[in-house]
Structure 1
Amino acid sequence: METILAGYKDQLTDLIQQYKNQVDFLSIRLEQAAGSSIVLRSNKIETLSESTSLGGQVRVCHKGGWGFAAFNNLENLKLRIEEAIAAAILIGDDETILAPIDPIQAVCTLPLSGTDPRQIPLQRKKELCDRYSDLLLSHSGKIASTKVSYGDSTQHIILATSEGTLIEQSWVDLEMRFSATARNGETVQTGRETTGSRKAYEDLENLDAQVKGAAQRAVNSLTLPAAKGGTYTVVIDPILTGLFVHEAFGHLSEADMAYENPDLLETMSMGRQFGGEDLQIFDGAAPEGHRGSYSYDDEGVPASTTQLIKDGKLVGRLHSRETAGKLDEQPTGNARCLNYHYPPIVRMTNTWIERGQTPVADLPTDIKEGVYAKNWLGGMTNGEMFTFSAGEAWMIRDGKIAEPVKDVTLSGNVFKTLKNIEAIADDFYWDESGGCGKGGQSGLPVGCGGSSLRIRDVVVG
């Protein structure tokens, strides 16, 4: 796989030298990818495929204007470069501001701890999906429909820039999703599980407990009472914490959201107090072994760890080179693209709330009536507002976990919710199930982490 692109290194260097003086910035990214995709709906095959792709992109900046060209014919590189240059010159009428970085020359591969999925035949992957589908369908006669999806992808890229950067990177990503829908008359409930890995195929082979759990939750929810709507003190598990910090706060930390929106930039002003002194929030691709981990972003900026909130105060945000330059801040290595069809934009990597000191068992203490929520079914955000659906939930009564309930959604304003965090537990969990969407680029692998939280005044519906 590597040999195909490696043969283009000298050509990329020569082309960069030929055209770099015509513009302020020029980068060429070549990519070779391969993957498998399987989708079963109630044991019927919806998708069963293997794919390969070879292509690239050219990005050009001139007087602040960007030109972009994507291609899948590497023999027409010169033409694509000239098209991107023409577009940038046509719209550029300002100043190119890119935060400076040192040029990098490197070859790096994210290490696997087990079997590369490319070594596993498609038939064996299909048999794994069949086994999980059978587990879902056989769990109960009330299971009306199921879905099992499997995906793996391998990407190998070369990035060359007019500043002297020449980077080769490759990685593998795997993901599986499971859902079971149970029906009892007119009552319908769904249980879901998602997991992913950048380490080994074996990480997907022993998920029986999670798969059965999805089916069990769907069946159990058929007879559970619905939660009574109201404002409660809630306790959420680390998975919901990770979802919250990613969706509700993380996107607001992406600097392209801020510098294009003066009101948001004022709201997200450095030094503003968003929570208590025990609140620490981070994002970074530098922590190894997670789905948002890598060595360099798609602009050649080294991976880092960025503290976003320190002792409750906003101290950082996530940048591309352009947003860092325009806001006079340091680049953070958060410019990412899903594949060569798209330009890099500011994206999260691995986002987490740091572990606290409160014992998990103490979180419900003194809550007269509240809600304990675990896992997630779905969610949405709109600016500062969020709504998440819990996968499981129980009422809290007189400081104890009480009866289970269903149809629990948690809603609120992210800034008020951060201030209303009363306790951060001493547990911690990395959720590798994330596939983030932004700017038309959906399914970008990310990691989310956190501890269980106790939060007052959350709207439950």
Structure 2
Amino acid sequence: MPSLLVDAKNLLCDLIARYRSQVDYLAIRLEEAEGTDIFLRGDKIETLSQGISIGGQVRACYKGGWGFASFNQLSTLKERVEEAIAAARIVGDEETILAPVDPVQDIVKLPLTGTDPRKIPLSDKKALCDRYTEILRSVDKRITTTSVLYSDSAQRIFLATSEDTMLEQSWVDMEMRFAATARNGDTVQTGRETTGSRKAYEDLTNLDAQIRSAGQRAVDALALPPVKGNTYTVVIDPILTGLFVHEAFGHLSEADMAYENPDLLEVMTLGRRFGPRELQIFDGALPPGHRGSYFYDDEGTPATTTQLIKDGVLVGRLHSRETAGKLGEEPTGNARCLNYHFPPLVRMTNTWIERGNTPVKDLFTDIKEGVYARNWLGGMTNGEMFTFSAGEAWMIRNGEIAEPVRDVTLSGNVFTTLADIEALGDDFYWDESGGCGKGGQSGLPVGCGGPSLRIRNVVVGGEAG
């Protein structure tokens, strides 16, 4: 990777020293990134690229107003600093409130446990995608469309601030996504799988069974009856639990959303009960080895583990230094940006529900008629409302898993749904497939986890009953 970042270290320090007196806070972040992107739709190559990018950003704060400028030529850095400062001084008319953090002087690298993808030839990565495409297509002749996406990215950042933080941090991230669409007349069904890693290229090379399962699910669903729409007691698997806790609850825990929305801030009052006493929800970049893990966020705040719900009660939320300062709470190290084009926002890292005590088989006990849902096809949230599509599902009859069904969507209000959790399984699974979107920054790596859950009164969409 180029060494411009290191060579520019003295320049950043000089500029910080020269301009720090003009604003309340000044930060310069440089970034070097290199990566590979491959996207195959059937036999067609839609993307096949390797690239290196070098750039940076300047953030300045004056009387509570923020100025931001990004650049990809170091020769223009002085001008960008002056632009960010000018913008901040134009809009600032209140008070700069940033929760205090200790200055950091550190060099850190997220460790790999296996092969660095940068050591793998592009031809080998393309061959891997070809092999997975062939696996999807070979499942059944009714599979009409396949897609395989591969991406890897190595990032190295240097952060210097007017508070004497000088931080260098680097990591490697990898992701693959697969989809197969099967058709029988007017009936169309899709199976999907996604996986990711910050540990080793080998984590992407032995996915044959997982990929074949995606294709088989699409084919099998063609012959399944649609679920009858109704309100059911539902059991969801750990992957859906991870999706639920991230999408439906995690975003509401991001303090910038609450601070900017007084009604939501009132709803998300610390000390309010949201679920059963067994419910524990966490977010944090501190647990190692996950896709949302790091040592410091993009403001130089050390990674933490933040408990959001303790014994069913809301006890915490996720912060940048600004939201923590304005709400009088501690910063949590959740200010993240996708790359140098964007300013840091309050973002989740690894979000999970702690495992419970109920054996998974007992989650089904006494359910006369319900639905068991696994994996996911997609989903959307709108404030506190959510809708998720299950990757596969079965009816539950008299406490037993019965016939499979298709077109299962789960909808509800997140606060009502948390309160309706009846039991938490004693299993747990980390899903490393997440690419989170917020504020125009899509694809930020995150981790999600949790146990199987039993939830009453879930609206399940399908054919009218």
TM-score with structure 1 length normalisation?
1.00
Instruction: Find out whether 1:433 has 2:441 as its counterpart.
Output: no
What CA distance in whole angstroms lies between the structure 2 residues aligned with 1:407 and 1:281?
29
Q: How does 1:79-228 map to 2 (within 5 A)?
A: 79-228=79-228
Partner residue of 1:19?
19
Partner residue of 2:239?
239
Partner residue of 1:318?
318
> For each residue in 1:47-104, what CA deviation from the matched residue of structure 2 results, as whole angstroms up to 9, or x when unmatched?
1000110000000000000000000001111111001000000111110000000000
* Deviation (angstroms), 1:2: 6.1
What CA distance in whole angstroms lies between the structure 2 residues aligned with 1:215 and 1:224?
15
Q: Tell me the amino acid that sits aligned with residue 188 of structure 1.
A: V
* Deviation (angstroms), 1:360: 0.5
What CA distance in whole angstroms lies between the structure 1 residues aligned with 2:156 and 2:384?
37
Q: How does 1:356-435 map to 2 (within 5 A)?
A: 356-435=356-435
Partner residue of 1:327?
327
What CA distance in whole angstroms lies between the structure 2 residues aligned with 1:40 and 1:90?
47
1:38 alignment partner, SS class:
strand
Q: Tell me the amino acid that sits aligned with residue 264 of structure 2.
A: L
Partner residue of 1:74?
74
TM-score with structure 2 length normalisation?
0.99
> For each residue in 1:315-334, what CA deviation from the matched residue of structure 2 results, as whole angstroms up to 9, or x when unmatched?
00000000000000000000
Q: Tell me the amino acid that sits aligned with residue 186 of structure 1.
A: D
Partner residue of 1:270?
270
2:364 alignment partner, SS class:
coil
* Deviation (angstroms), 1:3: 2.7
> For each residue in 1:286-337, what CA deviation from the matched residue of structure 2 results, as whole angstroms up to 9, or x when unmatched?
0000000000000000000000000000000000000000000000000000
2:287 alignment partner, SS class:
coil
State how many pairs are aligned: 461
> For each residue in 1:183-210, what CA deviation from the matched residue of structure 2 results, as whole angstroms up to 9, or x when unmatched?
0011100000000000000000000011
1:157 alignment partner, SS class:
strand
What CA distance in whole angstroms lies between the structure 2 residues aligned with 1:53 and 1:7?
16
What CA distance in whole angstroms lies between the structure 2 residues aligned with 1:189 and 1:230?
22
Asked if structure 2 preserves the Cα contact closer than 8 Å seen for 1:376 and 1:390, the reply is yes
What CA distance in whole angstroms lies between the structure 2 residues aligned with 1:363 and 1:139?
33
RMSD: 0.5
What CA distance in whole angstroms lies between the structure 1 residues aligned with 2:362 and 2:131?
39
1:229 alignment partner, SS class:
strand
5+ residue gaps, structure 2 = none
Partner residue of 1:33?
33
What CA distance in whole angstroms lies between the structure 2 residues aligned with 1:9 and 1:308?
37
What CA distance in whole angstroms lies between the structure 1 residues aligned with 2:293 and 2:235?
29
What CA distance in whole angstroms lies between the structure 2 residues aligned with 1:378 and 1:290?
22
Q: Tell me the amino acid that sits aligned with residue 284 of structure 2.
A: G
> For each residue in 1:207-233, what CA deviation from the matched residue of structure 2 results, as whole angstroms up to 9, or x when unmatched?
001100000000000000000000000
Q: Tell me the amino acid that sits aligned with residue 265 of structure 2.
A: L
Q: Tell me the amino acid that sits aligned with residue 265 of structure 1.
A: L
What CA distance in whole angstroms lies between the structure 2 residues aligned with 1:306 and 1:22?
35
Asked if structure 2 preserves the Cα contact closer than 8 Å seen for 1:43 and 1:134, the reply is no
What CA distance in whole angstroms lies between the structure 2 residues aligned with 1:331 and 1:172?
25
1:316 alignment partner, SS class:
coil
What CA distance in whole angstroms lies between the structure 1 residues aligned with 2:362 and 2:422?
12
5+ residue gaps, structure 1 = none
Partner residue of 1:281?
281
* Deviation (angstroms), 1:109: 0.3
What CA distance in whole angstroms lies between the structure 1 residues aligned with 2:121 and 2:2?
21
* Deviation (angstroms), 1:4: 2.3
What CA distance in whole angstroms lies between the structure 2 residues aligned with 1:308 and 1:23?
34
What CA distance in whole angstroms lies between the structure 1 residues aligned with 2:121 and 2:408?
41
2:366 alignment partner, SS class:
coil
What CA distance in whole angstroms lies between the structure 2 residues aligned with 1:262 and 1:73?
41
> For each residue in 1:216-272, what CA deviation from the matched residue of structure 2 results, as whole angstroms up to 9, or x when unmatched?
000000000000000000000000000000000000000000011110000000000
Identity of aligned residues (%): 75
What CA distance in whole angstroms lies between the structure 2 residues aligned with 1:59 and 1:190?
44
* Deviation (angstroms), 1:180: 0.3
Instruction: Find out whether 1:352 has 2:352 as its counterpart.
Output: yes
* Deviation (angstroms), 1:32: 0.3
Asked if structure 2 preserves the Cα contact closer than 8 Å seen for 1:2 and 1:156, the reply is no
Instruction: Find out whether 1:45 has 2:61 as its counterpart.
Output: no
Q: Tell me the amino acid that sits aligned with residue 158 of structure 1.
A: F
